[in-house]
Amino acid sequence: MLQIRADLVEEIMAHARAEHPHEACGMIAGAEGTERPERFFRMTNAAKPTGDAEAQEREQAHRALVLGEAHAEYAGEPRSSLTYYTWDVKERLRAQREMDERDEWPTVIYHSHTRSEAYPSQVDIDVASGPANDPRIHYVIVSTRPDAEARVRGHDLRSFRIVDGVVTEEEVDVVETYMFAHTGADDVPDLG
């Protein structure tokens, strides 16, 4: 089960809405040894056109390497930031260094789907099952398509564990604060 604060859910959704119709992506770091998401990293989708020809060329080469021929298209269209995300490598490295300095790890990796439901695509599964696979990571996907099903606090937001190509959906428990969340209460008990 993913337990996550409401403000972090709203950050994910705000990012996804701001980037729509492009896919948004990011991470939420937590202290090493815990599964508690704490610190939000809004990342840049490097697949999004920037007008920088060199950056575009690097991203296309990266896309070809990561996706290969099998995933070069989505619904008959070439892959783009509308149906695919990739990290800005420098930004990802900077975030990882920050996490390392603070003894944190990415407890949540999130991204949005703009044309499909909040469920891992084959590309998502392949990337999550790659060499950097960590079975502790919660993969959160949100859908920003107009007919998205409201599942969590009015949003189409779902969480998955993806290990060796196997996708397992998990419950999402949204809390106002982590204090006393393990008791089922979202606030400090009345002691008076």
Angle at 19 between CA 127 and CA 73, to 5 degrees: 45
174 sits in which H/E element = strand 172-175
Q: How many CB atoms lie within 10 A of CB 132?
A: 9
Q: Tokens in use for 66?
A: 């990561």
Q: Tokens in use for 57?
A: 């060329």
- Quick check: 89 pLDDT over 90? no
* 3-state DSSP percent of the chain in helix, strand and coil, to 5: 30, 30, 40
CATH fold for the domain made of 2-181: Cytidine Deaminase; domain 2 (3.40.140)
What pLDDT does residue 81 have? 74
pTM for the whole structure:
0.83
What's the DSSP call for residue 23? P
Yes or no: say if 162 and 129 are a contact pair by the CB < 8 Å rule: yes
- pLDDT average, residue stretch 177-192: 60
At residue 91, what are phi and psi to the nearest 5 degrees? -65, -40
What pLDDT does residue 186 have? 47
Question: Which residues are within 8 A (CB) of 32 and not within 5 positions of it... i.e. 6 or more apart?
Answer: 103, 104, 105
What pLDDT does residue 102 have? 97
| Phi-psi label, residue 178: left if phi above 0, alpha if psi -120 to 50, beta otherwise | alpha
- Euclidean distance between CA atoms 71 and 79, whole angstroms: 8
For 6-63, write each residue's pLDDT tens digit. Answer: 999 999 999 999 999 999 999 999 999 999 999 999 999 888 877 777 766 666 665 6
What distance, in Å, lies between the first and last C-alpha atoms of the chain?
33
Question: Which residues are within 8 A (CB) of 33 and not within 5 positions of it... i.e. 6 or more apart?
Answer: none
Give the residue extent of every domain in the chain.
Answer: 2-181
Question: Which residues are within 8 A (CB) of 80 and not within 5 positions of it... i.e. 6 or more apart?
Answer: 47, 49
